[in-house]
Structure 1
Amino acid sequence: MWPDAHILGVRETGAVSRHVPDLIDEVRLPDSAASGAPGASPFVELDRADWSRLSASTPLPLTTHDVVRLRGLSDPIDLREVDTVYRPLSRLLGLYVAGVRGVHQAVTTFLAEGGRPTPFVIGIAGSVAVGKSTTARVLVEMLRRWPEMPRVQLITTDGFLHPNEELKRRGLMERKGFPESYDRRALLRFLAQVKSGIPEVTAPVYSHVTYDVIPEKRQVVDRPDVLVVEGLNVLAPPVIEPGTQRGLAVSDFFDFSIYVDAEVQDIRRWYVERFLRLRRTAFTQPESYFRRYADLDDDAAQDVASGIWSRINEPNLRENVLPTRSRATLVMTKDADHRIQRVLLRKP
């Protein structure tokens, strides 16, 4: 068994098989058909062209240089894709943020209280290797350039993985990235503090070189306007505590959520391609946990990557990540070339 299920994985996720039935696959009627008939969809479905037209007069604040700097190793996103897909999304998020701020103002007026709004929290979910990290970074950069929204931060749930020593103690090193490998209570506590408006909340930091949480290193989140939370399992349903009927989900703290979607066979190919690239780059670092893979030839590296995907990453996708797709506010579906071809937006 390979103990590296999480290889290259926790940072970039998002995959879906068209052959795995779930809520969205069962309710793919267009909006015009959603009139209360059986199977009517809770989502508005938009193709690439229709979605692109929704950007209206929203400015495009990024340049080609920005996009090259932000994209992931296996995600060939370009400025055209940002213009077509992320500009409309930026506009939509602006409307959502304004709406939440309006609700905050109404409630504070009702209670005769003051105070600043708590952070608007966006969750981004999906499977290993689809480019979810790129989605998060591009969104953060675009939102930071809104004149009224300069304070935007990003955290990944990687830091909330149990340290390797604890995973070894629990026999979970081969299930790194599965729900049980995370300190879920610590993540929930962190988000509860953020949404309570507490200043200087801290999150642990993860190293993808050493493949472990960095001891004593913390990321400070100090009441941003927007916080983006990226992770494999951030849309998972609540876990019911033993002996109670109560449970809390990470997504309970989200104001908006995104699932990045693609065919399983495409995700598998992207995963293998990324492994081969990292074999010549990050894996060559002396301190890399994956140093032993750096000297593999192409055939051996492909065999290793395919084995890890088939035994661990794909089962995690099918069992734990994919079933959360229908819980998202918005689902973005990629084609084989990483281009977003379809968007499903949950009806309000």
Structure 2
Amino acid sequence: MNRFSYARPTDVAEAVREGSPGDVRYLAGGTNLVDLMKENVERPVRVVDINRLPLHDISDLPDGGLRLGALATNADTAWDARVEERYPLLSSAILAGASPQLRNAATNGGNVNQRTRCYYFYDTATPCNKREPGSGCGAIGGVNRIHAILGASAACIATHPSDMAVALAALDATVQVTGPDGDRAIPFADYHRLPGAEAWQDNNLAPGELVTAIDLPDERFTGHYTYLKLRDRLSYAFALVSVAAALKIEDGRIVEARVALGGVAHKPWRVKTAESVLHGETPSHNAFLAAAHAITEGATGHGDNDFKIGLARKAIVRALRQAADGTPQSQTDKRVA
């Protein structure tokens, strides 16, 4: 680990001033950043500890939505009574991730900003365009079982690892940020980036910007939802494919559908035009299969991960059936229902 300076501000304005110049990283729960620093993947010259900032609360919004403080822990968010009652899809997704110990430390802002869990990104002896632009992508032609089948590029086929972010994408969340140029709100769909030629850019935060909160709109999918996570073992493993599915059903027909995928792309994968395939349909295997093919259109494997294409389609169908039946996947007994 390289030498770095350390600051511990007590208000947001001070944190932005400390975080604006140079190669600086904000430190919250540290469950990702500290690992990266130990592995010499991240080598900041300055670390700004933001844990004393007043960003820990979860509060109601005037329009009926909910504001999740960036420093509220994943555990506190998942078990908050308002989240459980009004946004059970989010609660379920959080509980599907990591371990209880990590959820007690990890923060909401840190969760959406975590870096990809690619073998080559973490191994400084191998080429990685995310870590060293222009060095190449070791995963292309290498060991790539966990890698992307959608939205990838010749520069990077890594995937975003968050479960929470997949649910936030399905729920049309908004990320509140502040920085040297003031405050702004970023729709969740625009927050993360696909790799393109600039694989090192995970999101659209400007230099020095700090996530202060995540806002959930007053759109509640409480009766028909599920978060289905398929992985190599039942707990403490990143998704091979995950699906956040939410439906509104009236008079036996689907009037609104939300489907977001995790484990398949550099960002949570949601195709709104594909969701429209389900509008007006009665819940059925054929309707769900049509949606699955529309959502995964253009999916491309890279050898070891070819199986993900079929797995993703089957997972979408299974998740939509769970949502339609009102039988969400249990995050206690994680076996697929």
TM bucket (normalised to shorter chain) is under 0.3
**TM-score, scaled relative to structure 1:** 0.25
RCO comparison, higher one (Cα < 8 Å, 6+): 1
